[in-house]
Amino acid sequence: MNSNPEKNHTICNVVVLISGGGTNLQAIIDGQKNGDLPIQINAVISNRPNVKGLNRAAQAGIKTETLDHKNFSDRKTFDEALIAIIDQHSPDLIVLAGFMRILTPEFVAHYLGKMINIHPSLLPKYPGLHTHQRAIDAGDKEHGVTVHFVTEELDGGPPILQAKVPIVDGDDPDSLAQRVLVQEHVIYPLAIKWFAQEKLHLKNGKTYLDNELLASNGHLIDTTVR
One DSSP character per residue, the chain reads -EEETTTTEEEEEEEEEESS--HHHHHHHHHHHTT-S-EEEEEEEESSTT-HHHHHHHHTT--EEE--GGG-SSHHHHHHHHHHHHHHT--SEEEESS---PPPHHHHHHTTTSEEEEESS-TTS--SS-HHHHHHHTT-SEEEEEEEE--SSTT-SPEEEEEEEE--TT--HHHHHHHHHHHHHHHHHHHHHHHHTT-EEEETTEEEETTEEPPTT-EEEETT--
* Site membership for ligand GRF, residue 166 (CB under 6 A): no
Q: Is residue 92 at the binding interface for ligand GRF, with CB under 6 A as the rule? A: no
From 15, 16, 24, 28, residue interacting with ligand GRF (rule: CB under 6 A): 24
Residue nearest to ligand GRF (CB): 98
Question: Contact 113/150 with Cβ under 8 angstroms?
Answer: no
* Closer CB to ligand GRF, 91 or 120, in the complex: 120
**Is 31 near ligand GRF (CB under 6 A)?**
no
Instruction: Verify binding: residue 38, ligand GRF, rule CB under 6 A.
Output: no
Q: Is 79 in the site for ligand GRF (CB under 6 A)?
A: no
Burial class (CB within 10 angstroms; exposed 0-12, middle 13-18, buried 19+) of 51: middle
Nearer to ligand GRF, 38 or 53 (CB): 53
143 is catalytic: no
23 near ligand GRF, rule: CB under 6 A = yes
Binder of ligand GRF out of 11, 21, 42, 89 (CB under 6 A): 21
Q: Which of 9, 69, 110, 119 is catalytic?
A: 119
| Binding flag, residue 159, ligand GRF (CB under 6 A) | no
Site residues for ligand GRF, 179-208, by CB under 6 A, read 184
Among 43, 57, 97, 176, binds ligand GRF (CB under 6 A): 97
Contacts with ligand GRF, 113-152, as mask; x by CB under 6 A? -----xxx--------------------------------
- The count of residues in the chain is 226
Tell me which residues touch ligand GRF (CB under 6 A): 20-25, 53, 97-98, 118-120, 184
Catalytic residues: 119
